[in-house]
Structure formats: C-alpha cells, structure tokens
Structure 1
Amino acid sequence: MVFILAPATLVLMVVVVLAAALKEIVRRRNEKQCANVTSKSRRSEDLEIARPATAPGPKALPIFGNIFNLAKYGDCPYEGFTALAKEYGPVYSLYLGSNHAVVISSIDTIKEVLVTKGNMFDARPNIIRFGLYFGGDRQHSLALCDMNTVQKKRINLARSVLMFRTGESHSYEKFKENVISEMPTLTDEIDKALNKPVKAKELLSYCAMNIFTGFICSTKFDYSDPAFRDLARKFDFVFEDINNGHPTDFLPWLAPFFCTYLKDIQDVAAQIRQIILEKICNDKYKQLKCDPTNIKDLADAYFANLLNENKDNETWDWQAILYIIEDLLGGSSAIGNIVMRIFGYVLQNPHVYEKLRAEIDEKIGRNQAPKMNDKSEMIYTQAVVFEVLRLTSSPIVPHVATADTTIGGYAVEKGAIVLPNIFGINTDGELWDEPEKFMPERFIVDGQLKKPGHFIPFSTGKRACVGSKVVGYITFMVVSTVFQKYDVSLPEGTTPVLPKGKISLPWNSFELVFSKREQ
C-alpha cells in the first residue's frame, strides 16, 4: 500500500520535526551545561565518591536517537540489539527517540535488574499504545502498570489463583476440569474439517479462550457464537499489535500522522470491554451482589473487593476490575500462537514429529485421553515446547528505573528504559550448541528435562508472567491431544513463516491438514 501525503500534511510534518529537533537540541545543551557544572564542582580538594560511568553505546541523532541503527534489522530489532552488544558489551546505552535506554544482554545483568534490584526497575515506559489498550490509562493493566501497593495486591491475587500448586488446591481442580472438558470440544471441531486445509489458529484460539473464560469467569461459549468469535479475534489483534513495535512508541510526536491506526486500537479495546461486560461481567456482578460470599472464581474474587468491606480502605472500582479481567482473559491469545509455532517447527522436522508421537504413544497410549499429570512424564514433549520458545525469543516487556542506580557497574538514571535482550541470550553460541538449529534434545540431560538458568521464556522476578503455568499446561494438553488423535500435515507447497523476536502470528497464518490416525 502506498501512502500519498497532501502538501499541507508534509508542511505540518516538517514543522513538527523542526520543533522536536529544537526541543532536543535545547535539552541536550542543558544536560551538557549541567554536566559541566557538576564536573567543575567535583574538582575541589574535598574527598568525593566517584560516580559510576555511563554505559557505552553508539552515537545518537537528534530527535530520532539510534532508531536508524536498528532499522536495517527490519521486523526483529533484537538482532540489532545483539549485534550492538558484540561491539559495546552486555550493557550499553541507546537513545530511542529522545528516551535514554539501556540494553542488557547477559543473564547476570538481566537477573540483576529483574531479581536482585527488582524494586528499582518495576515501572513500565509511557507508550501511547499501552494506554490505549486500557481506556487511556496503562495503570489499569496488570502487566503494563507501574508497581505500587495496590497493584501489588491485585497482581498477587491473580498469582495466588493462576500459579496454583499442582494437585493441592481448589484452583488447580477448577483449572484441570476446564482444560479436560475442552479437549473433546476442540477435537469435535477438528473432526468437522478432516482431510482439508483448516485455519487452525482460529480453532486453537477459541479453545484457549474458552478455557480461560471457564477458569477465570466460570463461563463457556459455543465456538459458533458470533460474539465469542469476535472476542477471540479482537484479543488476537491486540496481542499481535503489542508484539510489534510502532514508530509512536518512542517518537510520540508522530501520533498525529497515525490517527486512524491509534483510533483502531482504541476502538477494538473498547469493543472487547463491551463484549466482556455484556457476556460475562454483568451477570456475575448481579449474582455476587446477592451473595458476596459466593466466590467461585478469580473474577468473583476481584468483584468481592468491590462489594465487601475493605479493611485497607482501598478503592477497587468497577472499571479497574473490568480492565483486570480483560487483561487476564487476553493472556489466552498467547496459546494459539505458541501451539501454531509448535506445529510449524515440528512439521518441518519429521524426526521430531516421530519422536514426539512415539512418546505420546508410549507414555499415554492411544486409547485414553491425555491428563494434566502426564506432563511430568513427557520429557521430550516439554523439550519441544522449550525449544520453540527459545527460537521464538519473545521479548520481555521493557522496564523503567525508578531510582538512580547501576547495572553491571554502569550508572543508570531514574526514568531510563531498560531492555532485556532475551533474543541475544537465546541465540548465544557460548550458551547453546548450534543455537540456530531446532534441537529439543538440548533440554534433555541423562533422560531428564533440564532447564538452564539462562533460559527464562516467561521472564523472572516479581514481574514474571503470572499466567506461565496456565499457558504451559494448556499448551501441553492441546499438543498431546492433537498428535495423539490425528496425523497433522501442511498443505502441499506451504512453508510456515515463523518470525523470531515475537510470539504472535497473523490470524490467517498457515493452514493445517488433520486426518484420523489409523489404529
């Protein structure tokens, strides 16, 4: 598609760029003057503690910063981060627009930020899109908010339900019931389209969404329900959007030139909220209002904080709770994308397909459905999932320093954006043997699953993904169920496109062909 700008628009762009350039020049001049004053004051004979040096990095352009250093890497800027790390080291500085950023590319510095000094890096950057996903305020989100006491309690409540102890809690039993009951629904849908190309991502997305709504909200849908299908599609739109960068993320002055795109995000997010309100939350709230002690699921637990007396006098308003439920349900979008990637990699590696199928037949058999507790015995299947996540190298959401501190001995000022380069670690030849190859066996040592300390697909520390356990179990159940019951293949002439540096795939990505296995 070719965009033709009107003369008036071009003039406006020039004016905006010049204004931004002037502002940036003034800002950098002020910084330099402040630095000179500080330098002079430190020439005194008084004893003084030396300030750590700033991390090295490439020279930045006014306004645009180092964006052009990364532009040549196209859809995977993390390849650019990795290339720069080879030149400047595991900790280096960049400017994304006028935003100072620090890129960290070693597991030691990443754990320093996410674990050791987690309290100093628990904020998120102010990106326009982050706010638009949540009604204009990213603080409504669990994943994109800055951390404070209230947010910590909201996240801990979600974690207490989603990070259940296997076999030891009501949450686990409810989750297991929802997963197991959904597998026949998925296979019934596949049976309707045997031996022909199928848009498999749609079915997988409906399956994952239904498990999430059943577990979190005690509500399930028929796959043919138009509102349910629309909800899954819209969630996937947001998931794909958040997995891709955009010029306005770090050049917000470009927003006037992307009004239609930004309005689309805002509209889709509002439509998601309306569907959840009408199809799920209105009825749940009315039921709970009649009996605030009848808490059946995580959604009820959040609403109970609105209805019951709050000893801490906190305000958990209706809108905030609606946004949290939306945020949690949106996590289901990861599963359809991960499972599609597993199919994509496995079907291009026939020896992996055969070993995966053989393990399913040996450990589970052909005549009984997979169970959640089979997962611990399915070493090769888990290794396949790990290897797909390694090659995908989905990025960790950027962090922001909340105080002046250091990373790897280098000074980091309050407000600096910190970018953990997981792609660099997952493709490091010193950490992985032949990292470019698809080799699930790398995660198996002496017949046991081995997860190296430098492999953190769902992040680590207090801001790690609260849904990682749920995602892992659903992925296992879907993969083992499908490969147990069906021969899966790609349509003739199809080669899956599996971009790295993000999990998301297009809604209409590659198709699959399912056929019944012969007994």
Structure 2
Amino acid sequence: MTDTQYYFLCLVLSFLSTLLLKSLFKKPSKTLRLPPSPPALPLIGHLHLLGHSLYKSLHNLSIKYGPLLYLRLGASRCLVVSTASLATEIFKTNDLVFSDRPSFAFSDRLPYGNYGFFIARYGDYWRFIKQLCMSELLSTRQLEKSHDVRHEEIVRFLLKALESAKKQHVFDVGAELMKLTNNSTCRLAMSMRCSEEHDEAERITQLVKESMEVGAKILLGDVLGPLRILAFWLYGKKAINVTLKYDAILERMLKQHEESPKKENEDLMDILLKVYQDDKAEFKINRTHLKAFLLDLFVAGTSTSSEAMQWTIAELINHPNIFNKVREEIKSVVGSTRLVEESDVSSLPYLQAVVKEALRLHPPSPVVVRESREDCKIKGFDIPKKTMVAINVYAIMRDAKIWNCPNDFQPERFLLSSEEKYGMEYIPFGAGRRVCPGSKLALGMIHTTVAAMVQCFDWRVGREGDHAKVNMQVAPSFSMPMAQPFICLPVVHFNPFTSSM
C-alpha cells in the first residue's frame, strides 16, 4: 500500500470511527467552554490545515485565529499555545497538570514502548531518572570530568577541516558536525568513539530516521479512534524491526561494558549499570529502561546539537560583520597563540549572544508537546484530561510583540537587555519540570565548537568555494534540519596546531 493510499484510507476510516464514537457515547451532561477553534471539516477536523512544517502551520493558524486554539485531529484533540503568557500557564502555573507526554500509538506493543525517559509518563520512574540526571549523569561534576573528551573531538573536527583546506577540497560541515556530536556523545556515554570503522553511531542515526518515518505513520492512526489498529497492522512490524536493530547494537555495547575492567573515571553507562545492579535503588530499572535511556541520550545529544551548530555558523557566514565581531572578541580574550577553550566562553559575551540568537530563530524542538493529566482551566477555558498540548516555541520566540524585528538575526538584543527580561519569551530547550536536562552539555559544546570554527577558518559557501550565502531553507521534520547539505570550502585563518605557535 502506498503512502497516498494509506492516508486516504485513514480519512475514510476516520469518518467511520466518528460515526462509531457518536453511537457509543452519549452527549456529555456538562457543556464545556473550549478555546476558540478554526472551521473544521466533518471527517478530519483540522488535519487539512497542517502542512509539512508543523510549527509554521500552527504559527499561521495562531496569527489568523488567536494564540490559544483548540484543534480536532480526527479522533484526537489538541490545544495549541503560541504566546509566552500562555506558555507560563502550561510550564509554570499548571506545570504539574501538564507534566505528561502523550503516549505514542501502540507504544505498549513496541519493544521499548514507554520505557524511554523523554516520553515516559510523569511518575516514579520519570522522577527517579530526572534526579539521576541532575545528580550524576549530567551533573556539573560529570561534565567537568568529560571536558577532555569534548576538546579532543573538536580538535579532530578542526584537523579534518585543516586537511580539506590544505587540499582545497570542500568540507561537508553538516556531516562532520554530526560525527563530532556522535563521537562526543558516545564517548561521554560509553567511553568509545562510534563514527569510525564500525559506524555504530551512523547506523543508529539511520535507524532514528527510519523509526521517525514509520512512527509518523503509526501516529497518524490515532485519528482513526477505535479503528486505529489498522495503522499498526500496516506498519507495526516495521516499527518493531527497527527497534530490534537498536536493541542488538545497544545490548552488544552493554555486554562489552560489563565485561571490561573497572575504570577510574566512570562514564554514563558505568553509572547506569551500577543503578541497574543496585537492588536497593529507589526505583528498580530493568535492562530495557537502560537501553531506552541510552537511545534517548544518543538521539537528543547528536542531531539537535549538530543542527544548532549548523544554524549558528550559517547565520554567522551570512552576516560577515557579526562573524568578524565574534572573531575579534575571541582574539581579545584568547590571543593569537592557542585554541579557544570551553573555559573561555564565560569571558565571551558576544559569542554567547550569537548562540542565543541562533537558538531563538532555530530552536532544536520548535514545538514542545505535553498532555494534561487532569481536567483544568486555562484563561477561563475548559481543558479536558488527556488533551495534547502543543507549545509553539518557534512562534513564541518570533513574537513581534516581544521581539523587535523578530525574523532578523540580531545578537545585540541579548547584550542590551538583562537575561531576566526573557522568561517564557525565550525557551529554546522548553521549560518547567520537563525542560531538557542536557541543555548545559549542549550549550557547552555549541559555544566551543562555533568559537573554534570562527577562530580558525573563513568559510566559503558551495562546492566551488564561492562567496554565496548559506541556503537557510528548512527541511520538513519534527526538528529544524537544513533542507540542503551544508557544503563549504574552509580557508585557514589561524592554525593553532602549527609547531611555531
């Protein structure tokens, strides 16, 4: 069955499921006061209003119909939030009420199911892992211990770029930044590089892509209500097979780790294995919990970080005056004899402003999703239990009522105002109790890598190394990847590895 046939069948069965729902359930005795809603079609609700880029579709709807919208997506319901004040209602005022994630369709039938930390329901397991992240896995102490790993991987990246510059060969910036984040995450988690001869990280990255594609098809089945089993019949086997491929890779890595001698510096897998083997732990995690968390860490620590670095350096290339300001700041702090270090970042406020501005325009997760755990009210409107909530971070951070020239790249805005001014107006990593726990690690890597790229090279865009601008078109996705390969010719400005230096 082709995708087109599948989607058409979904629409037809959505109609049948709507009729079935009406016949099975009586009208509620209490009439709910729901938020405003655009005109809907009888069969599919508002599905026809959503395009390839979810964040742009939701943004356009909010401009036309208001910042708080109630959408019906077939048999599912969704609350859309598009302003900072409304985000405060979700992430702060009612943070506990909206602390759940929506369950994936048929997650209970998939090998990892709801075992992953990022999609776990709010409860004992989620609280236990969150505390473990804050106190051990992603603590300041653990990040300091892994400083050398990040530095070594940045050096390897720069040496590859220097080799390309020497041969006057173009450099696939996007692909190499993905390898940089892959290897940094693998070494942080498992004390091993992944993107080498076995290409484990690249295989996992491909599996992530496959799982997102098949997952989207299964998720679409949710609009079918009682008949959504059809989506699992069609695509469930493929989803299971993709997960089993993950499992084989992660299980082999776990066994290698268990059989290796104890190390002085523990990595994340060492810490997780200790918790797994601890019978007195506050929450007894099983092996599936462990592997699902590692997969979460790998996915969150690679694609989103590498995309953020790509967008940041792309904005700098397209704004040469800002690029040169960053370079001059680095030179004034670091000098001309050594490579910029992670410890220098605190003395580079303009670099920090550049990264903040890039994350504002290109957030790693443009739409953050939650689900209500109980009935509640938002601005006087009734929000039923188990309503999915889509907080449009993209729209909030481009709100013209808050940001001057919201679509322009202007890092100075973060220098002229105190950071306290931007609360829910600036939430590139989400907010509330489910804010991204790895944001500190990601920012450290982004700042240092971008600084090194600016310090060491001029970047000429395109396969011929001309002076064109970077194509800023975004590919359709849940995140914000570049639509076109990011290809540049690196030209050496400063070589920190020259012996005379």
Task: Establish whether TM, by shorter chain, passes 0.5.
Answer: yes
Contact 1:490 1:511 in 2 (8 A): yes
| Distance in 2 between residues matched to 1:426 and 1:87, nearest whole Å | 18
> How many angstroms does 1:468 deviate by?
0.5
Q: Is the 8 A contact 1:102 1:417 kept in 2?
A: yes
Cα 1:131/1:205, change in 2 over 3 Å: farther
Aligned to 2:209: 237
For 1:107-148, what per-residue CA distance to the aligned partner results, in whole angstroms no more than 9, with x for missing partners? 12212212222221122223349779x7351x1111112111
Shift of residue 295 of structure 1?
Answer: 7.8
Matches within 5 A, 1:47-196: 53-70=33-50, 74-128=51-105, 135=111, 137=113, 139-161=114-136, 163-165=138-140, 169=141, 171-194=142-165, 195-196=168-169
Greater shift in the superposed pair: 248-257 or 204-213: 248-257
2:248 to 249, 271, 274: 274
Counterpart of 1:24 (choices 18, 21, 45) is 18
Alignment of 1:217 onto 2:190:
yes
Q: Distance in 1 between matches of 2:301 and 2:238?
A: 21
**What is the letter of the counterpart of residue 204 of structure 1?**
L
> Displacement, 1:266?
4.7
Q: Does the aligned pair in 2 maintain the 1:186–1:203 contact within 8 Å?
A: yes
Question: What SS does structure 1 have at the residue aligned with 2:146?
Answer: helix
SS of residue matched to 2:332: helix
CA displacement at 1:457 relative to structure 2: 0.3
Per the TM alignment, residue 481 of structure 1 is displaced from its structure 2 partner at its CA by 1.3
* 1:370 paired to 2:344: no
Using the TM superposition, give the Cα deviation of residue 370 of structure 1 relative to its aligned residue in structure 2, in angstroms: 1.7
Instruction: Specify the alignment match of 2:498 in structure 1.
Output: none
Cα pair distance change 1:477/1:414, threshold 3 Å: same
Q: Distance between the aligned counterparts of 1:346 and 1:154, measured in 2?
A: 37
The answer on whether the counterparts of 1:401 and 1:415 sit within 8 Å (CA) in structure 2 is yes
Q: Which amino acid aligns with 2:199?
A: A
Is the aligned partner of 1:359 residue 2:329? yes
| CA positional deviation for 1:229 | 5.2
> Closer, same or farther in 2 for the Cα pair 1:153/1:214, shift >3 Å?
same
1:330 corresponds in structure 2 to 299
Contact 1:335 1:475 (8 Å CA) reproduced:
yes
Q: Displacement of 1:348 after TM fit?
A: 1.3
* Partner SS for 1:94: strand
Q: What SS class does the counterpart of residue 406 from structure 1 fall into? A: strand
Looking at structure 2, the residues matched to 145 and 4 of structure 1 have their Cα atoms a distance apart, in angstroms, of: 29
Distance 1:389-1:269 versus aligned 2 partners, 3 A rule: farther
Shift in Å, 1:38: 4.0
Paired residues of 1:201 and 1:507 also in contact (CA < 8 A): no
**Does 1:515 find its partner at 2:494?**
no
Alignment size in residue pairs: 483
C-alpha separation between the residues in 2 aligned to 1:433 and 1:390? 13
Inter-CA distance 273–363: structure 2 relative to 1 (3 Å threshold): farther
TM-aligned CA deviation for residue 434 of structure 1: 0.8
Deviation (angstroms), 1:202: 1.9
> Root-mean-square deviation (CA), in Å?
3.4
Paired position in structure 2 for 1:42: none
* Whole-angstrom distance in 1 between the partners of 2:453 and 2:45: 48
SS of the residue corresponding to residue 199 of structure 2 reads helix
Distance between the aligned counterparts of 1:339 and 1:372, measured in 2? 15
Give me the whole-angstrom Cα distance separating, in 1, the residues matched to 2:265 and 2:405: 50
Distance 1:152 1:249 in 2: 30
Alignment of 1:245-260 (within 5 A): 248=220, 250-251=222-223
Specify the alignment match of 1:397 in structure 2. Answer: 368
2:291 and 2:326 map into 1 onto residues whose CA distance is 40
Q: 1:320 aligns with which of 289, 292, 314?
A: 289
Q: Calculate percent identity across the aligned residue pairs.
A: 19
Task: Specify whether residues 249 and 145 from structure 1 end up closer, same or farther in structure 2 by C-alpha distance, changes over 3 A only.
Answer: farther
Mapped pair 1:427 → 2:398: yes
Name the SS of the counterpart of 1:418 in structure 2: strand
Counterpart-to-counterpart distance in 2, 1:443 and 1:149? 38
TM-superposed CA distance for 1:431, in Å, is 0.4
The residue type equivalent to 1:505 in the other structure is: P
Q: TM-score scaled by structure 2?
A: 0.85
How far does residue 24 in structure 1 lie from its aligned partner after superposition?
Answer: 0.7
Q: Distance in 2 between matches of 1:254 and 1:494?
A: 46
- Please give the per-residue CA displacement for 1:46-71, whole angstroms capped at 9, x wherever unaligned: xxxxxx7221212322341101123x
Query: TM-score, normalised on structure 1?
Result: 0.83
Q: Deviations over 1:389-416 (max 9, x none)?
A: 1112432431111111112221111111
* 1:286 correspondence with 2:259: yes
Change (3 A) 1:241 1:474: farther
Structure 1 residue identity aligned to 2:200 = F
Unmatched tracts of structure 1, length 5 or more: 40-51
Aligned residue for 2:131, secondary structure, equals helix
CA distance in 2, matches of 1:55, 1:83: 17
Task: Find the aligned partners of 1:263 and 1:422 in 2 and give their Cα distance.
Answer: 34
| 1:242-295: CA deviation from partner (whole Å, max 9, x where unpaired) | 9989872653668867988776655444333323332x311212348xx7x988
Taking the aligned partners of 2:127 and 2:174, their CA distance within structure 1 comes to 34
> Which piece of structure 1 moves more, 482-491 or 228-237?
228-237
CA distance in 2, matches of 1:153, 1:210: 27
